[in-house]
Amino acid sequence: MADNASGSDSLLFLTDEQLRKGIEAMFFAYRGFTADPDRILEGLDYGRAHHRAIHFIHRAPGMTVSSLLGILGVTKQSLNRVLRTLFDDGLVEARVGKTDKRERRLHLTDKGAALERALSDAQRARMRAAYRTAGPQAVQGFRTVLEAMMDPEMRRQYQGLREDSP
């Protein structure tokens, strides 16, 4: 209720023109969002798919293959191609589940953790700059809108990720 420029109280922010601006903002911003990690990955034989796998394994160590599948929303064949190269290159290791031996619990090796750090440092640097420029209140709004834009299942993934019990 504080910022009143351009009709905050009215419904003017729901016009097609405003929505289009939001749509294009998502498009252009996502490019920036992926640009820095992409630059690191290129030449290393890895792509965005590897980045995503590494990110979420780092995020929730001990995660099983099938929960990773659920988060990434791809087929097991597709994920497997990625995971295989990560195993072969010694970035990720799979430990047989303790209670259920069919499960593969995924962990980053030191080498994998190093790459993860390089990638997320780059990505966070941009994020941090954007956050700092925009300020805390804008960041709050940013997160709120993004969350509202997710599919319900994805929102659960987003909110509910926690370290998988080993």
Q: Which residues bind its own copies (CB under 8 A)?
A: 1-3, 7-9, 13-14, 16, 18-33, 35, 52, 55, 59, 73, 120, 123-124, 126-151, 154-155, 157-158, 161
Residue 82 makes contact with DNA by CB under 7 A: yes
One residue of 20, 21, 84, 95 binding DNA per CB under 7 A: 84
- Looking at residue 75, what DSSP letter applies? -
- Residue 122: in which H helix or E strand, if any? helix 110-134
Contact string (CB under 7 A) for DNA, positions 39-78, x = contact: ------xxxxxx-x-----------xxx--x---xxxxxx
Q: Which residue has tokens 């009143």?
A: 4
- Residue 24 interacting entry, from DNA, its own copies, none, C-beta within 5 to 8 Å by type: its own copies
Give which of 106, 113, 108 is closest to 65, Cα–Cα: 106
User: What is the side-by-side order of every strand in the sheet holding 92-96?
Assistant: 63-64, 104-108, 92-96
Cα separation, 148 vs 160, in Å, equals 15
Nearest to 72 by CA among 165, 163, 166, 161: 161
Q: Of its own copies, DNA, none, which one sits near residue 77, judging by CB under 5 to 8 A according to partner kind?
A: DNA
CB of 25 to DNA, least distance (A): 18
Residues that bind DNA in the complex, under the rule CB under 7 A? 45-50, 52, 64-66, 69, 73-84, 94, 96, 99-104
